[in-house]
């Protein structure tokens, strides 16, 4: 049943997390991200072409959010899956489920020296990307317009 953990359904691989916002009143979870469009390996490092974006989960009925920071590291998405049925959905209480069409969103996140898994059960999710592309060098110090 855990075959989905190698997926990248949301195509987030190597996308950098800039900010995480949990809004209990709105029952939403929002990530501000730098979505990787492409990667260029170069001697001694790499450069990502990225777009700023918002990854939002709405009408959240369940979430486990093991989040951490690591000095001199950026958190990056590694894997993602969107499931219509799963053990995680099955374990949500019937009251929370209501008559909603729920999805289980699995996110694998690389925190530098740690890899953690996040599960979100919600009714709606989307990714909005800005049009402008930037270069993000391996020092993750700043976005460069080129």
Count Cβ neighbours within 10 Å for each residue of 46-62 and write b for 16 or more, e otherwise. ebbebbbbbbbbebbbb
How many angstroms separate the CA atoms of 26 and 28, rounded?
Answer: 5
Reported as a pLDDT band with limits 50, 70 and 90, residue 1 is: very low
User: Which of 114, 75, 80 minimizes the C-alpha distance to 6?
Assistant: 80
User: Which tokens belong to 138?
Assistant: 């391996």
User: Which tokens belong to 21?
Assistant: 């916002």
Instruction: Give percent above pLDDT 70 in the chain.
Output: 92
Q: For the segment 55-78, what is each residue's pLDDT rounded down to a tens digit?
A: 999 999 999 998 887 777 788 999
How many angstroms separate the CA atoms of 94 and 20, rounded?
Answer: 28
For the whole prediction, is pTM greater than 0.75?
yes
Instruction: Give the three-class secondary structure for 4.
Output: helix
Q: For the segment 13-44, what is each residue's pLDDT rounded down to a tens digit?
A: 999 999 999 999 999 999 999 999 998 887 87
Reported as a pLDDT band with limits 50, 70 and 90, residue 86 is: very high
Q: What is the pLDDT of residue 2?
A: 65
98 has pLDDT over 90: no
């Amino acid at each position: 049943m855990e075959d989905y953990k190698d997926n990248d359904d949301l195509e987030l691989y190597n996308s950098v997390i800039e900010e995480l916002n949990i809004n209990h009143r709105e029952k939403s979870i929002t990530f501000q991200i730098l979505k990787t469009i492409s990667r260029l390996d170069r001697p001694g490092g790499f450069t990502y072409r990225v777009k700023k974006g918002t990854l939002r989960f709405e009408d959240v009925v369940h979430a486990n959010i093991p989040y951490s920071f690591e000095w001199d590291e950026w958190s990056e998405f590694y894997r993602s899956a969107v499931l219509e049925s799963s053990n995680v959905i099955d374990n949500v209480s019937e009251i929370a489920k209501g008559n909603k069409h729920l999805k289980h969103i699995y996110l694998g996140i690389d925190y530098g020296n740690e890899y953690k898994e996040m599960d979100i059960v919600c009714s709606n999710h989307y990714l909005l990307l800005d049009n402008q592309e930037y270069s993000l060098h391996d020092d993750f110090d700043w976005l460069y317009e080129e």
